[in-house]
Amino acid sequence: MLTHVDRNQAEVAIERIRNHFEIQAFSFEGKTAKVTASFGAAGFRGTTPPEFSSLLNRADAALYTAKSKGRNRVEFEAGVV
C-alpha cells in the first residue's frame, strides 16, 4: 500500500520491487530458480477513500490483467492517472 503518491511515483516504486524479484536468484532444496512477479494496482483521488475491499478487488482485477498479458509486469486499473 502506498499513500500520497501519484501513478508515476507508484509505478516507479512497484517496478523497483518487480525488478528486484527478476534479478534475484532464489535457492530451494539445492536448486536455483529465477522468479518473476506481476503486480496489480488501484488508486483513488480525493479525500474520501473507497471501501478497502473495493480497492483491493480493483487491484486484484488489475493483477489478473497483468498475468493475462504475459506476467512479470505492472498493471494499473483502468482510469488510474
pLDDT in tens, 2-24: 888 999 999 999 999 999 999 99
- Judging by DSSP bridges, how do beta strands 25-28 and 74-76 pair with one another? unpaired
Enumerate the domain spans of the chain: 7-76
Asked if pLDDT for residue 81 goes beyond 70, the answer is no
CATH class of 7-76: alpha beta
User: What values do phi and psi take at 11, rounded to 5?
Assistant: -60, -40
% of the chain with per-residue pLDDT over 70: 96
pLDDT band at residue 39 under the 50/70/90 scheme: very high
Distance CA(39)–CA(17), nearest Å, equals 10
pLDDT in tens, 60-76: 999 999 999 999 999 99
